[in-house]
Structure 1
Amino acid sequence: MRQLLPHPVDPIDPVDVYAGLPAADGRPALRLNMIASVDGAITVGGVSGPLGGAGDHRVFTALRSFADAILVAAGTVRAEGYGPASVPLVIVTRSCQLDLDAPLFTETPVRPVVVTVATAPSERRERAAEVADVLVAGERDVDLPAALCALGRRGHASVLAEGGPTLNAQLARADLIDELCLTVSPVLAGGDAGRILAGPPLPSTHRFAPVSVCEDDGFLFLRLRPATERTTDPAPSRPASPASRIAGL
């Protein structure tokens, strides 16, 4: 792997690239790690694995090594087949409908955390509490700021979010993403796969600035942090070229 920005370094260890994350105010710092094809697809055949490579795996491992907890939506846990982790796996679910006999609950060295809501069926919450720590954050929708603060009280200073896109959008809407680590896979995927965020448009445009850019075997590894500005005005539209108007584009 080689670093292109902020200054060239070749080779470079991902551990050196991703070390250090600014402290957040009153809650754990949160990183979001995602991968997408050059046309924006985050999955191929419903999973992210086909987009990855050796360099992406090294970055994935480095990011997890810095995390005190891993935040992930229940749907992503099911789709990606999550197993036991060396740090607490924090699973976000409104329904509390989970496969509690899965190895991530029964064979893990670290007890998982289930973040749910007060309206989740009480019997499911009670069953989850047998194999995980259950945090209730919110009445009908998960209150992510409250959940992060609760994780902070448990001693977690750094949280790594791994999706899915609905959870990512909720984190963005609550302005909780302190760093976005995006791997751009050098493939065109096509199809109807989603983007890294899913759901209604954000109330304002969230601008991010690059901290570092690395490359390995055609993959780009972008490390970005929020810029200070927020804008609610859409970018001015660019006049269509004559050719595109003729083509009806």
Structure 2
Amino acid sequence: MRRIHPDTHDNPDLAQAYAYPEGRPWLRVNMVASADGAAWLKGLSGGLSSKGDRRLFGVLRGLADVILAGAATVRTEGYGPAKRRPGRQVPPPIAVITRRLDLDLGSPLFTEAESPTIVITCEAAPADRRAAAGRQAEVILAGADRVEMPLAVQALRERGLDRILCEGGPRLNAQLAAADLIDELCLSVSPLLVGGTAARILNGESANVGLTLAQVLEEDGVLFNRYVRE
């Protein structure tokens, strides 16, 4: 892997290149897309991934305090618990955003997590599902009829989870952007044209968030772009 912006450097230290800013909370979104903007191939983001993307995926998880994902992404991508990374005593917990609590509570994400999984839902979620989720995870209520993103992020930060890594999906990303909560976007661009009806990395609510291109890495034709808010 090599850095091509803002300077040129072979084999940069990824943990250093993606270090969080000191002394402030930070919400980072990490996504992969095709060259024509699709967020998945055949229904899965893994179809767009590369060896370098998977390596960076692990580094970003290792730097985060918590990993945030929507329930649809958790189900579709088959999420399990985060792995312990070098230099960390425990892995970051996974926090799942869900209104309906349509979750497989018997999956390893809930039964084998070293850091207990967090479920963020709303008061309108079915009471029986809330009770069941509470036996397998920490349940946070963040809103009445829907999960309100500012309340969800605030609840994580109140628990000392300031460095938030969001892994999507596109609908969750759009909600975070609409609430003006995204500080950084890490976007891996795969050299593929896929067409079809796949969503973009933001899909749903409108937003207008200005970004500055802070860094570009490249490996095997894949671009790893790091944008920060203006």
Per the TM superposition, whether the score is higher than 0.5 is: yes
The runs of 5 or more residues in structure 1 that have no matched partner are: 228-249
**Length-normalised TM-score, structure 1:** 0.87
Q: Name the aligned partner's letter for residue 103 of structure 2.
A: L
Does 1:60 find its partner at 2:83? no
Identify the residue that residue 246 of structure 1 maps to in structure 2: none
Identify the residue that residue 231 of structure 1 maps to in structure 2: none
Does 1:74 find its partner at 2:77? no
Give CA-to-partner distance per residue, 1:98-124, whole Å, 9 cap, x none.
110111101111110000000111110
Note if contact 1:14-1:58 (Cα within 8 Å) is conserved in structure 2.
Answer: no
Please give the residue correspondences for 1:135-214 in structure 2 after superposition, counting only pairs within 5 Å. 135-202=140-207, 205-214=208-217
Identify the residue that residue 16 of structure 1 maps to in structure 2: 16
Note if contact 2:171-2:203 (Cα within 8 Å) is conserved in structure 1.
Answer: yes
**Length-normalised TM-score, structure 2:** 0.93
Note if contact 1:117-1:137 (Cα within 8 Å) is conserved in structure 2.
Answer: yes
2:192 and 2:18 map into 1 onto residues whose CA distance is 24
Match of 1:96 among 80, 93, 101: 101
Note if contact 2:178-2:205 (Cα within 8 Å) is conserved in structure 1.
Answer: no
1:80 and 1:98 map into 2 onto residues whose CA distance is 13
Helix, strand or coil: the match of 1:94? coil
Identify the residue that residue 118 of structure 1 maps to in structure 2: 123
In the TM superposition, residue 23 of structure 1 has moved relative to its aligned partner by 4.9
1:51 and 1:131 map into 2 onto residues whose CA distance is 32
Which of 31-40 and 52-61 deviates more? Answer: 52-61
2:21 and 2:188 map into 1 onto residues whose CA distance is 18
2:189 and 2:150 map into 1 onto residues whose CA distance is 28
In the TM superposition, residue 96 of structure 1 has moved relative to its aligned partner by 1.2
Give CA-to-partner distance per residue, 1:114-151, whole Å, 9 cap, x none.
00000111110000000000000000111111111111
Identify the residue that residue 4 of structure 1 maps to in structure 2: 4
Q: Residues 41 and 23 from structure 1, CA distance in 2 versus in 1: closer, same or farther, beyond 3 angstroms?
A: farther
1:71 and 1:102 map into 2 onto residues whose CA distance is 17
Helix, strand or coil: the match of 1:182? strand
Match of 1:216 among 197, 204, 219: 219
In the TM superposition, residue 21 of structure 1 has moved relative to its aligned partner by 2.9
1:82 and 1:217 map into 2 onto residues whose CA distance is 27
Q: Residues 135 and 157 from structure 1, CA distance in 2 versus in 1: closer, same or farther, beyond 3 angstroms?
A: same
The runs of 5 or more residues in structure 2 that have no matched partner are: 83-90
Helix, strand or coil: the match of 2:47? helix
In the TM superposition, residue 13 of structure 1 has moved relative to its aligned partner by 2.6
How many residues are paired up? Answer: 222
Percent identical pairs in the alignment equals: 49
Give CA-to-partner distance per residue, 1:165-194, whole Å, 9 cap, x none.
110000000110011000001111111111
Does 1:47 find its partner at 2:44? yes
Note if contact 2:110-2:117 (Cα within 8 Å) is conserved in structure 1.
Answer: yes
Helix, strand or coil: the match of 1:206? coil
Which of 6-15 and 104-113 deviates more? Answer: 6-15
Identify the residue that residue 128 of structure 1 maps to in structure 2: 133
Match of 2:112 among 104, 107, 117: 107
Give CA-to-partner distance per residue, 1:50-83, whole Å, 9 cap, x none.
1111110111111111100000000000000001
Q: Name the aligned partner's letter for residue 212 of structure 1.
A: Q
Note if contact 1:182-1:222 (Cα within 8 Å) is conserved in structure 2.
Answer: yes
1:216 and 1:224 map into 2 onto residues whose CA distance is 18
> In angstroms, what is the RMSD of aligned CA positions?
1.1
